[in-house]
Structure 1
Amino acid sequence: MDGTNLTAVMEFILLGFSDLPKLQGFLFGIFFVIYMIILIGNALIIVITQVDPTLQTPMYFFLGNFSFLEICYTTVTLPRILMNLWTQNGHISFAACAVQLCIFLILGLTECFLLAVMACDRYVAICKPLYYSLIMNHKVCTRLVAGAWISSIPVVTILAYQIFSLPFCGSNKLNHIFCDIHPLLKVACGDTSLNELSVYIDGVLFGMAPFLLILVSYIKIITAILKLPSAMGRYKAFSTCSSHLMAVGLFFGSALIMYVRPKSSHSAGIDRILSMFYTIVTPMFNPMIYSLRNKDVICALKNLLEVKYSWC
Structure 2
Amino acid sequence: MTTEGLAELIAVHLWAVLLVIASVMLLAAWLLWEGLQRFGPAIDAWLRGWFARIHPHARSLPLPGAVLSAWDIVRRLGLQVLASMAVAVVACIGFVEIADEIAPDEDLGQFDAALSAALGRHASDAQLRIFSLLTHLGDKRFLIPLAGVVALILLVRRQRFFAAAWVAATVGGALLNSTLKEIFERSRPQWLHHYASADGWSFPSGHSSGAFIVYGLLGYLVLVYLPKRFHVPLAALAMLLIVCVGFSRAILQVHYFSDVLGGYAFGAAWVAAWIAGLEAFRRRQADSMST
Whether TM-score is above 0.5 comes out as no
Give the structure-1-normalised TM-score: 0.26
TM-score normalised by the chain length of structure 2: 0.28
The answer to which structure has the higher helix fraction is 2
